[in-house]
Amino acid sequence: MNLPKLRIGELEAAIPIIQGGMAVRISLAPLAAAVANEGGIGLIAASGMRVPELVRHIREARELSDGIIGINVMVAVKEFASLVKAAIQERVDIVVAGAGFSRDVFKWCREAKVAIAPIVSSVRVAKLAEMFGADAVILEGKEAGGHLGTSESTWSLLPRIVEAVKIPVVAAGGILNGRDIFRAITGGASGVQMGTRFAVSEESSAAQAWKEACVKAKPEDVVIIESPVGMPGRALFSKFVKKLYAGEIPHHEDIGRCVTCLKECKKNYCIIEALVRAQRGDMERGLIFCGERVGEIKEILSVKEIIKRLVDEYILAASGVTAFA
């Protein structure tokens, strides 16, 4: 039994997998293109970028792949409108918007005939997104990495949101292997979004030290932090997090280098700066966002090998095999 195709609006992906758009600068052109080349949907993480940088990565991804390429961007970032409009002008295939809700983005995408799939964490927001014209919704449960919009499990939310809307529902949060994909599909999802598994890939733009920290992680290393965005976030415990818990991270207003990248920010520390440091390999002062199950990832593989394993695991699960080597 092969994986079903994923249809979102006029788009049709050969495999029902969206690669999560992980900021800052984890999901760039090489990763998005690699996933698109394997038949999935590749996303470039726009949050934390300026427009010229995003345009450059969209164009690079297009040079590397003729597959489905989109962006993921947080509604919470100050340049949300500029980034989305630039991506639309570059003719991306899909816009994924999370960490907030924007009514305007539906109009922009509809007029440009670009698919729009907001990230939702409740039945109410899923229905609201459908009403405004979403082509699909990405249901993100508490198991996800990064900013969290709910304390409920993906698996608890999935049947309720599938029942509540007529558009495709993509399950995200805690999806790590082919068995999870099979569980999501049989539970009514049209596809899945996977972040952490692709973050720890050869094509990910995270530093090698970042990836190795994830591979070495144990379940107890995954913690919840308070983000200046005003939402909880799931991350790896680190020296930075230890200082954050102890209140030893300088208040960002005291640093004097704030570029007001967020629409609203508590300014208790600069999360963009912390994420960038980690992406560049600074494990002393950096912050690594990760999914709840990061401790199960034991290898840094190519996207091609990851997807091959996902497909093989899905086929085994669909065949009723419960034990895997």
Kindly state the average pLDDT of the residues 128-135.
96
Closest CA to 142 of 224, 219, 210: 224
| Judgement on whether residues 174 and 32 belong to the same structural domain of the protein | yes
| Judgement on whether residues 133 and 119 belong to the same structural domain of the protein | yes
**pLDDT > 70 in the chain, percent:** 92
DSSP at 8: E
Kindly state the average pLDDT of the residues 294-309.
96
| Judgement on whether residues 303 and 290 belong to the same structural domain of the protein | no
| Judgement on whether residues 106 and 130 belong to the same structural domain of the protein | yes
pLDDT range class, residue 182, cuts 50, 70, 90: very high
Helix 303-318 crosses helix 178-186 at what angle (to 10 degrees)?
Answer: 50
| Judgement on whether residues 162 and 90 belong to the same structural domain of the protein | yes
| Judgement on whether residues 185 and 310 belong to the same structural domain of the protein | yes
Kindly state the average pLDDT of the residues 91-100.
92
Closest CA to 19 of 204, 159, 183: 204
pLDDT range class, residue 1, cuts 50, 70, 90: low
Asked if residue 324 is part of any domain, the answer here is no
Q: Indicate whether 133 pLDDT > 90.
A: yes
pLDDT range class, residue 254, cuts 50, 70, 90: very low
Local structure of 129: helix, strand or coil: helix
| Judgement on whether residues 89 and 32 belong to the same structural domain of the protein | yes
Asked if residue 93 is part of any domain, the answer here is yes
Asked if residue 323 is part of any domain, the answer here is no
| Judgement on whether residues 16 and 142 belong to the same structural domain of the protein | yes
CB 150 within 8 A of CB 161: no
**pLDDT > 90 in the chain, percent:** 72
Q: What is the CATH number of the domain that holds 62?
A: 3.20.20.70
pLDDT tens per residue, range 220-231? 999 998 887 777
CB 275 within 8 A of CB 220: no
Kindly state the average pLDDT of the residues 293-318.
95
| Judgement on whether residues 248 and 235 belong to the same structural domain of the protein | yes
Asked if residue 1 is part of any domain, the answer here is no
Residue 325 has what pLDDT? 45
CA distance 70 to 35: 11
Least confident range from 30-44, 79-93, 112-126, 235-249: namely: 235-249
Number of domains observed in the structure of the chain: 2
Q: Vertex 69, ends 66 and 74: CA angle to 5°?
A: 170
| Judgement on whether residues 268 and 312 belong to the same structural domain of the protein | no
pLDDT tens per residue, range 12-64? 999 999 999 898 899 999 999 999 999 999 999 998 899 999 999 999 999 99
Range of the domain at 156: 6-205+299-318
| Judgement on whether residues 177 and 68 belong to the same structural domain of the protein | yes
Residue 151 has what pLDDT? 86
CA distance 98 to 167: 18
Q: Give this prediction's pTM.
A: 0.91
Asked if residue 308 is part of any domain, the answer here is yes
Q: Indicate whether 264 pLDDT > 80.
A: no
| Judgement on whether residues 212 and 194 belong to the same structural domain of the protein | no
